[in-house]
């Protein structure tokens, strides 16, 4: 995250700023997951709410950042406003909706997070569903489009794999293991993108 922030300070690209925020949310949501482990603090409304809003909003921010790379900024601005509005709506819905109670936990973090998420009414989950599906689609399709348009930008494939890994929940490396692998792929993609930029400048 700090490396990407440094790159933004140097180049002042909007997508770098959005991806820096997204990575901060990624780290925050992962920390909340760690704290929600039964061996640490366990589930509670504050930890889960912070996890839910950051884990969902980061996908929208990744998608918005990708749009700034492939379409006109006017379109990207509109989608970014959409992401912000949906994120705020999700936050307000979490604040004013009681935390689900009487749920049966399995002891597996990924499955228990799914149980709690589904315990909320659709009036809450709809914002997360839209943000994750639309943002994720834009990010993945945008990454593939960037690679097809310029095969030298193969680093975008690492971004795509890194973003996909947490979606597999408990397989193949376990819930937190998948997130760790995702972070590794994102970091490798970032390093390769830096090398690509330097090669272009030379």
Choose among 135, 119, 27: nearest CA to 87.
135
How many whole angstroms separate alpha carbon 29 and alpha carbon 179?
A: 10
The model's confidence at residue 2, banded by pLDDT at 50, 70 and 90, is low
- Tell me: pLDDT of 163 over 90: no
Residue 122 CA to chain centroid, in angstroms? Answer: 21
- CB count within 10 Å of CB 11 equals 10
Task: Give pLDDT, residue 90.
Answer: 93
- Tell me: pLDDT of 169 over 80: no
Q: Considering the chain, what is the average pLDDT of its residues?
A: 81
Task: Give pLDDT, residue 144.
Answer: 86
Stretch 25-47: mean pLDDT, rounded?
84
- Tell me: pLDDT of 171 over 70: no
Q: What are the tens digits of pLDDT across the range 97-122?
A: 888 777 666 667 777 788 788 888 89
pTM for the whole structure: 0.81
For 81-110, b/e burial (b = at least 16 CB within 10 A) is ebbeebbeebbebbeeeeebeeeeeeeebb
Dihedral angle at the C-alpha atoms of 95, 96, 99, 102, nearest 10 degrees?
180
Q: What are the tens digits of pLDDT across the range 41-52?
A: 877 888 889 999
The model's confidence at residue 181, banded by pLDDT at 50, 70 and 90, is confident
How many whole angstroms separate alpha carbon 166 and alpha carbon 136?
A: 12
The model's confidence at residue 150, banded by pLDDT at 50, 70 and 90, is confident
The model's confidence at residue 80, banded by pLDDT at 50, 70 and 90, is very high
Task: Give pLDDT, residue 154.
Answer: 81
Task: Give pLDDT, residue 81.
Answer: 95
Residue 198 CA to chain centroid, in angstroms? Answer: 27
């Amino acid at each position: 995250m700090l490396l990407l922030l440094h790159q933004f300070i140097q180049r002042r690209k909007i997508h770098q700023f959005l991806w820096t925020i997204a990575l901060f949310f990624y780290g925050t949501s992962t920390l909340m997951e760690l704290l929600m482990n039964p061996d640490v603090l366990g589930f509670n409304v504050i930890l889960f709410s912070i996890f839910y809003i950051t884990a969902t909003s980061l996908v929208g921010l990744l998608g918005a950042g990708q749009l700034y790379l492939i379409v006109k900024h006017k379109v990207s601005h509109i989608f970014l406003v959409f992401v912000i509005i949906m994120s705020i709506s999700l936050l307000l819905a979490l604040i004013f909706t009681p935390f689900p109670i009487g749920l049966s936990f399995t002891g597996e973090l990924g499955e228990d997070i799914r149980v709690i998420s589904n315990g909320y009414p659709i009036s809450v989950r709809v914002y997360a569903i839209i943000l994750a599906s639309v943002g994720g689609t834009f990010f993945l399709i945008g990454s593939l489009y960037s690679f097809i348009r310029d095969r030298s930008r193969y680093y975008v494939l690492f971004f795509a794999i890194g973003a996909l890994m947490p979606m597999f929940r408990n397989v193949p490396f376990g819930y937190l293991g998948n997130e760790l692998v995702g972070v590794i792929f994102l970091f490798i993609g970032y390093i390769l993108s830096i090398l690509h930029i330097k090669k272009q400048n030379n």
